[in-house]
Amino acid sequence: MSRLRFVDDTGSTNTDLLADFGAIEGDWLIARRQRSGRGRQGRDWHSLDGNFFGSTIVCLRRNDPEPPTLALVAGLALVDAIHAAAPAAPVSLKWPNDVMRGAGKLAGILLERAGDRVVAGFGVNLAVEPGIEGRKTACLSDIPISVEAFAPLLAGAFARLLGAWRMAEPASLARSWEEKAHPKGTPLTVHQSADEVAEGTFDGIEADGALRLRLEDGSVAVIRAGDVGLA
């Protein structure tokens, strides 16, 4: 059973929940405003009124799959919740942790771990698309849904997929993730570091969630960290 707690204002729902040792699996912390929200690689996550900022916690068990594959759970749950809220909105997953609406970023995920506790944080542009230099963004303002209405949709989807993660073969979740991503053959640019850029096409993901990038010579590079741009 998910327990949802709403607060008007906080620094970061991820930080707060990870520091709360009374939190148990299934707990959610949702803020109406974040002052120190962040994305991958320490980027700021803009806090705009009406958008969703929330985190949940997973307590790792002895026989659980590898923790990085929780990124698959989070991505699939987020897409399912968005589809439930806005069935007509065409969205897709973009590796490693984005949900796109068309060419614009609609939502992002940040997983952080401390010992046997993993927090999954979600930011979703429900009402407003932030202006970010050099990046296209999107929102669901044409299909109004409140933070309070969206939260249980995401909590329910995450709980269901977390159960599947513990029971199913990791490869089956990877295939489900691929089905909700942009098509194979989509041109990608992958920035692995400031000086290392690879170009190719999307060739799916590995069972552990790593990106498969098909290069111009036909070979496939397996990438486990990097920023991806859609060409």
Sheet with 187-193, edge to edge strand ranges: 220-223, 211-214, 196-205, 187-193, 227-230
- Domain coverage including residue 146: 3-179
Claim to verify: residue 203 and residue 123 sit in the same structural domain: no
**pLDDT on residue 193:** 73
Q: Is the pLDDT of residue 38 over 80?
A: no
Q: Is the pLDDT of residue 41 over 60?
A: no
- Alpha carbon distance 200, 222 (integer Å): 12
Claim to verify: residue 149 and residue 224 sit in the same structural domain: no
Cβ proximity of 23 and 57 under 8 Å: yes
Residue 230 is encoded by which pair of tokens? 């859609």
Claim to verify: residue 195 and residue 124 sit in the same structural domain: no
**pLDDT on residue 63:** 93
Q: What would the pLDDT profile of 3-24 be if each residue is shown by its tens digit? A: 999 999 999 999 999 999 999 9
Q: Is the pLDDT of residue 208 over 80?
A: yes
**pLDDT on residue 37:** 57
User: What CATH number corresponds to the domain at position 166?
Assistant: 3.30.930.10
Which residues have CB under 8 Å from 106's CB, separation 6+?
82, 91, 99, 100, 124, 125, 137, 138, 139, 140
Claim to verify: residue 219 and residue 152 sit in the same structural domain: no
Claim to verify: residue 143 and residue 205 sit in the same structural domain: no
> Buried b / exposed e across 95-116, counting CB within 10 Å, b at 16+?
bbbbbbbeeebbbbbbbbeeee
Q: What would the pLDDT profile of 142-198 be if each residue is shown by its tens digit? A: 988 999 999 999 999 999 999 999 998 878 999 999 999 999 999 999 987 767 888
Claim to verify: residue 197 and residue 148 sit in the same structural domain: no
Q: What would the pLDDT profile of 72-131 be if each residue is shown by its tens digit? A: 999 999 999 999 999 988 999 999 999 999 989 999 999 999 999 999 999 999 999 887
**pLDDT on residue 131:** 79
Radius of gyration (C-alpha) of the chain in whole angstroms: 17
Q: Is the pLDDT of residue 45 over 60?
A: no
Q: How confident is the model at residue 226 (pLDDT cuts 50, 70, 90)?
A: confident
**pLDDT on residue 197:** 87
Claim to verify: residue 170 and residue 65 sit in the same structural domain: yes
Claim to verify: residue 201 and residue 132 sit in the same structural domain: no
**pLDDT on residue 88:** 87
Q: How confident is the model at residue 35 (pLDDT cuts 50, 70, 90)?
A: confident
C-alpha dihedral sign at 223, 71, 53, 153: positive
**pLDDT on residue 43:** 54
